[in-house]
Amino acid sequence: MSKQFQFKLVLLGESAVGKSSLVLRFVKDQFDDYRESTIGAAFLTQTVTLEDQTTVKFEIWDTAGQERYKSLAPMYYRNANCAVVVYDITQSTSLEKAKSWIRELQRQADPNIVIALCGNKLDLSARRQVSQEEAKKYAEEEGLMWGETSAKTGEGVSDIFTSIAKKLPLTAPPSARGGTRPGVPGGRTGVDLNKQANAGQGQGDQCNC
Amino acid sequence: MSKPVRSPTEVAQDIIRPTEEVKVAIDARTAPRADADSETWTVSEHEPPVPRRKILAVVSHLQPNGKHEQGCVFVLLQRPPRIQSIPDEYVVEHAFPVLHNFSISMAQPRQTTVDLSSPPPGSTFALDQPKTELTVTIKPGEDTPFSSVTLHTTDTQGLRLLLDECRRLKEASTAETDDDYDFEPFAWIAPYVADHAVPPLLSSIPPDLRKLQIPVHARLSPASAGVPGSDLSDVEAIREDWLRERMQKEIFAVGEKARLKIRIGTFNVNGKLPSQDLSAWVRDQITLPASALIPPLKEISPLSIGEDRKNPIEEQLGWCLHPGNTIPSGIIPPDSSSLAASSDSSASGATVVDTISEDTTVSDQPPDVPEDPSDPDMLVLGFQELDLSAEALLYSTGTAREDNWCMAVFAGLGEKAVLYEKLASKQLVGMLLVIIIKKRLRPNFTDVRTASVGAGIMGIMGNKGATAIRVSFTPSPSPPASSGSESRPTALAFVNAHLAAFDEMYEKRNVDFHDLCKRLVFDYANSGDDIASTGSWYTPAAVPLGIFDADALFWLVNLNYRLLLPDADVRSLLADYELRDENFRVLRRFDQLTTAMRSKKAFDSFIERPITHLPSYRFGSGMLTDGLGYDMKRKPAWTDRILHMTSRAVVVKQESYTSHPAITMSDHRPVSAAFELEGPAVSVAEYESFMQRVWREVSGIEYAEERPRLRVTPNIIDFARIGHKRTVTRTLEVANIGKVPCAFRFVSQNFAADACPSWLRIEAMAGLVLPGKKTEIILTAYVDDAAAAQLNLGNARLEDTLVLHTALGRDYFVAVSGDYDRTCFATSIAWLVRLPGPVRALQAPSDLLPEDKSVNAPREIMRLINWLMSNGTQTDGLFLTPGDEELVLRIREDLDTGEEFSLEVTQNDSKTTLAFADTLLRLLESLTDPVIPSSLHAKCAQITSRDEAFEILDQFPVVNINVWISLTAFLHFIGQRESYQTKIEHLIAIFTSVLLRDDLNSLMPVSITGKRNFLRYFIG
């Protein structure tokens, strides 16, 4: 029986850099040219299987990028194990915004948080404004993971999540399976911040076959 | 009368959800020999039973990833028909997942003759198909808990298609080996099987009334943005509330209503035997024709009553107490002349308006006693201290006293007595609860249960405690005698309690209340009725029930709650008839029961109509009494009370609440209240069918793989200008654009905050939307005094984000904003004097003047007093007559903006001046602290001379002195006018409650008369 781990991941970044598209590609392997901007926070899950058959389940909070909702972001990155901070390689201002998110995370999030800086819209590299060198240098200085992706073509998407999975401390005991069974409500009245997404994902873990 | 027969596919499509697809569906029936009784139903008595229709269907489900298809074979079974208006209904009898070990096979046994004389209903196959009957056997596989099923069908072609489809799905299921498979296999079947579970509202036990008083959003799990809480239990609560709401709107609100007039009385008889006419207490005198007011038995000598068997009342009325007896044929109702008179009155249009029943099967009812619309259908009487003897505490003393009082009650009913009989009673030592009903309604009352609990000496003895009765009231069906449409019963519970006496036992009474609520249990075995014989198929719950497991609960009690004010205060406030309304308001505020309810210490969520009668305790005979007859040794109190609580299914209208001072035999006065209860007269079949249908739409939300999807518009809402006590509404549209029902709720941004800012109200805070449907949420910006007190101190620009959380789904943000118009209302005097200019002009709290630079007195209050001084002194009724709402708002606006008053005063225009006076009064009322600081109230109340009164002013803050002096000078000035001579006390009473506002949290309140005296030194 392979080990299974569960981690909370949050996506941050300026509006319209492609956070939701990135998640959609990662979770459903789909792309949608005209996505509406996220006004809220979406919760999704996806599992990554590593070479040693270890599975890492991400509980992903995709948050709104608009400035107006910035004050709510801490509620979603609180207790996150990892964060993907996204910028648009065709918009240099989006990197500045990403840097400010990173500063905020370093200041306020869990000190052990794994942060990945992700340059999206690689398919539009002809209009590139942020060079790979610049971003990479910044990432190295800050001790972040870095990668470029295209949610549209899928390039680099699974790589970045897999690298995060590898970097996470896989020494913690595997998360308990079958924590909350669907149809058996009220199993949890308080809030267990380590497993807060259990109830939100329907019948993920349970098996009655 | 035949209904159109739907094809198997139509039936199956009706049952499945949008996430599944019907591949094939065929008619089938059970092998003839199997379990014939439950599988057939009778169309009419003259035809042989026919098998219930079954449908065999293959249903497929595509997983949300769009790749995996799963199949399931359903066996659908027709439900027994219940009422004509409902289309035929089906339930999922079996569901077999098409997995690797699943198998389905057909066989052609021997050629059988199909009996054409009794085709199954909807048999489209009987004639135009080959008459070959095939057997189909479904084997779910050895490792499943299900056993195999064999059915018959004649639809050869359909069966072949069905087998093909099963083969295809089975192959699909065995092909699935992808390791990224992240779905629970066949979880989508669960909701269909779950349909067998009882939907929450189908239980015959009504939900706990206390729970229903709390809005659903307040019952959900703690949650905030990013921390969803317990979505599964929240879904359950929201869904149940939604079901109840739909039931209310679509069944209860539109259907027939059953009305029941209930008269409730409570009487602490102080161990006395009945010696006076009780008619005032037991019947509603006001609406009776004058001739009927004369009770047949005016007075009963106490000497002639008691154990004496030859009591005249008993001779006449004894049969009333024993429902089994019939009336001796020779007895004629006592007062035939009054009878004739009321008979006339009822002929003139007063027909029996009862929608419940016109049942005439009760044969022992004398036909010529008229019923009046005002006659109660039900009389519920609680007695306390029925027997004060020591023996009564130790062992049962029989029913002699109960019989005495019941006789007196029937005597009090006068000529109407023959219409009534006793339904039930429950006694514990001195506490007796009796239910008397109209005889003709006897068949409508079932499942009578009683309970009693002692809470007296050592916490168990019966000198204190409660007795209770619970009954089910089933309205007669309309039209009468339509069989199979039995009405859904309404459960009524009544509690007669007697709690600990004395002022200082306040907390003990609160504790006892909760104790009684817990310990009063109606056992099933206690049920007086032979339930089986009622023939009801809405079976009463065979479990113990609490008092809150009812549709309506009444407490008719001697709670012994007292008044918190000093004795002298209570007596003088009661004695002042001129100020009755104002004084009663004050007294009610200091009633211990009101205090307990306000602080949620006891009787939380109960309803009591504001008392307008004099306290019912304690009266003396031969003791030292005050002018109103109250015993000088005991502070008068409203010890005897009637409260109620109901579910949304019933509406209770209270028609009266009064005491009966003419009945003087005890040291308490009896109290009565008349209610009209209106409940739905819906048939059980209709109710159940509706519930099942609606339940199917929302059951199994928690099993859905698809995430709920909403469209929330708009996501930015600007309220523009928001002002104190001004309403601005906006609408939020929530549309379900997904495939599954979506339960939503508003959550707070973080644990410390509320889900909604103080200036906003959201209706509703939680809800449910079906796929393809939308709902409107009303957002109302409204700033009350408490919110204004907060907002006045902060930034004028209001911005917030609402977080709408969807259960098992995402959060949606709605940005709300507005510009707050600051107001001088709901602030403090100390803050007002620090304003550099008009309050509206204040940009930020930092612009306030430093304390040492503040002005002498709040401009706003001074402007109003000055205006009144120059324009209003000639107007009568200042402060006593409410001002015109619109004018008050205009005056307030001018105060806030600092503009000149825009209202012009003309000669003899009292409207404007009254509005100014009212504005001043409201401004003072809205201040966060009273003009005289609360800490000084006790001192002020003790002052006995004018000089002392002026001396204590030095202890006020300077600005408060300025306000006080100007205000009292003005009141003194207008009080000097001749037309105010009689009103000055009224002014004093009103301004005392404003300027020396009562501290409602104190259990030792400051004397009201003392505070009034203090004010009188200045304006009297």
In a domain, A17, yes or no: yes
Domains along chain B? 8-193 (2.30.29.110), 201-252+705-821 (2.60.40.10), 257-560+639-647 (3.60.10), 855-1019 (1.10.555.10)
The CA distance from B578 to B620, in Å, is 25
| Structural tokens at position A55 | 């599975």
What confidence tier does B123 reach under pLDDT thresholds 50, 70, 90? very low
pLDDT at A173 over 90: no
Query: If you average pLDDT over residues B598-621, what whole number do you get?
Result: 93
Nearest-by-CA chain B residue for A80: B226
Per-residue pLDDT of B514-569, as tens digits, reads: 999 999 999 876 554 444 434 344 556 667 889 999 999 999 999 999 999 999 99
Element (H, E) at B8: helix B8-15
The DSSP bridge partners found for residue A40 are: B812
| Sequence-distant (≥ 6) Cβ neighbours of residue B731 within 8 angstroms | B776, B777, B778, B779
Query: If you average pLDDT over residues B396-411, what whole number do you get?
Result: 88
> Which residues in chain A have their CB less than 8 angstroms from residue B229's CB?
191, 199
- What pLDDT does residue B242 have? 94
Closest approach of A21 to chain B, Cα-based (Å): 16
Query: If you average pLDDT over residues B319-342, what whole number do you get?
Result: 39
Element (H, E) at B667: none
- What pLDDT does residue B396 have? 67
pLDDT at B932 over 50: yes
The end-to-end CA distance of chain B, in Å, is 85
Lowest mean pLDDT among B31-40, B382-391, B407-416, B445-454: B31-40
CB contact under 8 A, B813 and A186: no
CB contact under 8 A, A199 and B808: yes
The letter for the amino acid at A104 is E
Alpha helix (H) residue ranges in chain A:
19-28, 73-77, 92-108, 132-142, 157-167
Average pLDDT in chain B:
82
> Which residues in chain B have their CB less than 8 angstroms from residue A209's CB?
185-186
Query: If you average pLDDT over residues B583-606, what whole number do you get?
Result: 94
The CA distance from B392 to B269, in Å, is 15
Whether the bond between B449 and the residue before it is cis, its omega within 30 degrees of 0, is no
Q: Which segment, B18-32, B50-64, B823-837, is predicted with the most confidence on average?
A: B823-837
- What pLDDT does residue B364 have? 52
CB contact under 8 A, A187 and B187: no
Instruction: Give me the helix-helix angle, B684-698 and B231-247, nearest 10°.
Output: 140
* DSSP-derived pairing of the beta strands B552-558 and B545-546: unpaired
| Structural tokens at position B1001 | 């949290």
Closest approach of B684 to chain A, Cα-based (Å): 28
Higher local confidence (pLDDT), B877 or B570 = B570
pLDDT at B763 over 60: yes
Query: If you average pLDDT over residues A84-110, what whole number do you get?
Result: 96
The answer, for B194 touching chain A at a CB cutoff of 8 Å, is yes
pLDDT at B498 over 50: yes
Of A78, A183, A186, the CB nearest to B226: A78
How far is C-alpha B645 from the chain's CA centre? 6
Closest approach of B207 to chain A, Cα-based (Å): 18
Nearest-by-CA chain A residue for B184: A203
- What pLDDT does residue B845 have? 84
In a domain, A186, yes or no: no
What confidence tier does B44 reach under pLDDT thresholds 50, 70, 90? very low
Query: If you average pLDDT over residues B200-205, what whole number do you get?
Result: 73
Element (H, E) at B446: strand B445-454
The CA distance from B700 to B61, in Å, is 15
User: What is the count of structural domains for chain A?
Assistant: 1
Interface test mutation site (partner A, options B67, B98, B184, max chain A beta carbons within 10 A): B184
Interface test mutation site (partner A, options B702, B739, B797, B800, max chain A beta carbons within 10 A): B702
What confidence tier does B215 reach under pLDDT thresholds 50, 70, 90? very high
What confidence tier does B49 reach under pLDDT thresholds 50, 70, 90? low
CB contact under 8 A, B223 and A42: no
Cα angle B313-B315-B319, degrees, rounded to a multiple of 5:
100
Lowest mean pLDDT among A184-198, B396-410, B638-652: A184-198
What confidence tier does B1000 reach under pLDDT thresholds 50, 70, 90? confident
CB B52 within 8 A of CB B40: yes
In a domain, A118, yes or no: yes
Q: What's the CATH code of the domain at A82?
A: 3.40.50.300
In a domain, A180, yes or no: no
- What pLDDT does residue B171 have? 84
Residue B428: closest CA among B452, B397, B394, B405: B452
Query: If you average pLDDT over residues A156-161, what whole number do you get?
Result: 94
The CA distance from B228 to B756, in Å, is 16
CB B372 within 8 A of CB B346: yes
Residues comprising chain B, all counted: 1020
Higher local confidence (pLDDT), B430 or B478 = B430
Phi, psi of B651 (to 5 degrees): -115, 130
Lowest mean pLDDT among A42-56, B32-46, B368-382: B32-46
- What pLDDT does residue B256 have? 84
In a domain, A126, yes or no: yes
Query: If you average pLDDT over residues B313-318, what whole number do you get?
Result: 45
- What pLDDT does residue B479 have? 61
Residue B335: closest CA among B384, B297, B289: B297
* DSSP-derived pairing of the beta strands B671-680 and B651-659: antiparallel
The CA distance from B72 to B776, in Å, is 38
DSSP states along B738-780: SSS-EEEEEEBSSTTS-SS-TTEEEE-SEEEE-TT-EEEEEEE
The CA distance from B707 to B697, in Å, is 16
In a domain, A80, yes or no: yes
In a domain, A193, yes or no: no
| Structural tokens at position A128 | 């590139």
Q: What is the ipTM of this complex?
A: 0.79
- What pLDDT does residue B284 have? 67
Chain A and chain B share a number of CB contacts under 8 A equal to 121
The DSSP bridge partners found for residue B56 are: B26, B75
Instruction: Give me the helix-helix angle, B580-589 and B567-575, nearest 10°.
Output: 150
The answer, for B221 touching chain A at a CB cutoff of 8 Å, is yes
Lowest mean pLDDT among A11-15, B158-162, B307-311, B700-704: B307-311
The answer, for B335 touching chain A at a CB cutoff of 8 Å, is no
What confidence tier does B484 reach under pLDDT thresholds 50, 70, 90? low
The letter for the amino acid at B360 is T
The answer, for B714 touching chain A at a CB cutoff of 8 Å, is no
What confidence tier does B53 reach under pLDDT thresholds 50, 70, 90? confident
Q: Which segment, B86-90, B227-231, B631-635, B640-644, is predicted with the most confidence on average?
A: B640-644
Residue A110: closest CA among A81, A135, A134, A83: A81
- What pLDDT does residue B367 have? 57
pLDDT at B938 over 90: yes
Nearest-by-CA chain B residue for A191: B229
A109: containing domain: 4-175
**In what order do the strands lie in the sheet containing B378-384?**
B420-428, B431-438, B378-384, B257-268, B671-680, B651-659
What confidence tier does B290 reach under pLDDT thresholds 50, 70, 90? very low
DSSP states along B490-544: EEEEEEEEE---SGGGHHHHHHHHHHHHHH-EE-STT--S-GGGGT-SSPPPSS-
The CA distance from B261 to B378, in Å, is 6
Q: B1008-1011: long-range contacts at Cβ-Cβ below 8 A with a sequence spacing of 24 or more?
A: B1008/B565, B1008/B569, B1008/B573, B1008/B586, B1009/B568, B1009/B569, B1009/B572, B1009/B573, B1010/B569, B1010/B940, B1010/B941, B1010/B942, B1010/B943, B1011/B937, B1011/B940, B1011/B941
Higher local confidence (pLDDT), B959 or A185 = B959
| Helix, strand, coil percentages, rounded to 5, for chain B | 35, 25, 45
* DSSP-derived pairing of the beta strands B797-806 and A40-49: unpaired
Per-residue pLDDT of B878-905, as tens digits, reads: 999 999 999 999 999 999 999 999 988 7
In a domain, A61, yes or no: yes
pLDDT at B289 over 80: no
Phi, psi of B460 (to 5 degrees): -130, -20
3-state SS class at B198: coil
Query: If you average pLDDT over residues A95-123, what whole number do you get?
Result: 95
Interface test mutation site (partner B, options A6, A23, A72, max chain B beta carbons within 10 A): A72
The answer, for B65 touching chain A at a CB cutoff of 8 Å, is yes
Lowest mean pLDDT among A65-69, B179-183, B369-373: B179-183
